[in-house]
Amino acid sequence: MTEFTWAMPVVLDLFFASLAAGAFCFAVLVSRKEGPGFSLAARASAILAPVSVGFGLSMLIFDLRYKTRFWYTMTIVNGESPMSLGVWLLTLFSAMAIFYALFWLPYDMRSRIPVIGGWSLWSRVRLRDVLGLAGLPVALLVSIYTGVLLSATSVPLWRNPVLPALFCFSGLATGFAAGFLAALLFSPGKRNDLLAGPFLWLLSAYRVLLTAYLLSAVLYVLWFFAPGIRREPLFSLITGVSGLIFWMGALGLGIVLPMVLAFARTKTGYGRACAVLAALLLGGLLLRLILIYIGQVQVMAFLNLLVYVP
C-alpha cells in the first residue's frame, strides 16, 4: 500500500494540458498583431497546442488502472465532479485546438490530409480568428480545471482555494514559453524576426502574468496561516528536500528567474532567453510534481501506511 495513487502520468497530464491551454492563448493573442515574427510564433504555438493536449490526454489514459475503459467517462456527465467536467472540457478544447491548428498549418502539409485538407475554409482568416476567440474561455477553463481537480480533494496540501489561480497562471506562463520556444525551434532562419517582435511582446506580457503567478504562489502559502487551517502540511512542503525543490525549482526557476528577465532593462541575448524560458517550463513541471507527491505522502503518513504495511 505504499504505492502512489497518482504518480508521474498525472503530473505530466496536469502540466501538458495546461501548457496546451497556454499555448492556444498565446497563438490567439499573438495572431492579433501584425508582423512576420508574430505569424510565425502564432503558427508554431497553434500547432503545439493540440500536440501537447494530446500527449496530456494519453498520459491521463495511461494513468488509469483500467486503460481500456477510459471511454466510460464519455458516457456520463457528472456536474459535481471536476474530473468529469475536465474530461468534457478537454474534449471540447482538443477539438477546438485541432481545428485551430488546421487553419495555421502550412498549405503543402494541410493538403496532404485526406478529405478535410482540401476544404477552402482553411484560408478564411476571419473564421480562424472567431474560432480562436471562442477557444480562449475554453482554454482558460482547462487550465483552471487542473487546479480545481486537486483543490476539491481531501488531501490537506491540495485543499486550497488559491490552487486554481496558481495552476491557471502557471499554465498560461508555461504555454507562452513553450509556444515561443517552438517557434524558435521550427523556424531557425527567422530568429531575428522572432526576437524583435513576439519576444518583446512576450516579455511585456510576462510582466503582468508572472506577477500574478508569483502573487498566487504567495497567497497559496499564506492560505495555510488562515484561522482554522492546519499548517503542518505546508511545513513539510516548504522545508527539507521538497522545500529545496519548491523554493529553488518551482518558485526560483519557474517564476523569479523569468521575472528578472522580463523586468531587466538590458537587451537579452538569444541563448539566455532560451535558457530562461526552459527554466520556466521546468519550474512549472516541478511545481506540479512536488505538490502531487508531497500531498500524497502526507496522507500516507497520516494513515500509517508508510511505516506499517498490514
Q: How many CB atoms lie within 10 A of CB 18?
A: 31
Q: Which is nearer to other proteins, 86 or 110 (CB)?
A: 86
Q: Where on the chain is the footprint of other proteins (CB under 8 A)?
A: 1, 3, 5-6, 25, 29-30, 32-34, 63-66, 69-70, 72-73, 75-76, 78, 80-84, 86-87, 136-137, 140-141, 143-144, 147-149, 151-155, 158-159, 161-165, 167-169, 172, 201, 204-205, 208-209, 212, 216, 296, 299, 302-303, 310
Q: Which is nearer to other proteins, 162 or 276 (CB)?
A: 162
Residues in Cβ contact with 226 at an 8 Å cutoff, skipping those fewer than 6 apart: none
Running DSSP on this structure, what letter comes out for residue 32? T
Q: Which is nearer to other proteins, 143 or 174 (CB)?
A: 143
What is the C-alpha separation between 139 and 92, in angstroms, rounded? 9
Q: Which is nearer to other proteins, 204 or 239 (CB)?
A: 204
Q: How far is the CB of 43 from other proteins (least distance, A)?
A: 16
b/e sequence 71-107, b meaning 16+ C-beta within 10 Å: eebeeeeeeeebeebbbebbeebbebbebbbbbbbee
Q: How far is the CB of 223 from other proteins (least distance, A)?
A: 11
Q: Which is nearer to other proteins, 212 or 218 (CB)?
A: 212
What is the C-alpha separation between 133 and 157, in angstroms, rounded? 35
Q: How far is the CB of 244 from other proteins (least distance, A)?
A: 25
Cell triple for 118: 482540401
Length of the chain: 310
Q: How far is the CB of 147 from other proteins (least distance, A)?
A: 6
Q: What is the gyration radius of the CA atoms in the chain, in angstroms?
A: 20
What is the C-alpha separation between 207 and 212, in angstroms, rounded? 9
CA distances from 194 to 188, 190, 280 (A): 10, 6, 19
Q: How far is the CB of 117 from other proteins (least distance, A)?
A: 30
Q: How far is the CB of 248 from other proteins (least distance, A)?
A: 26
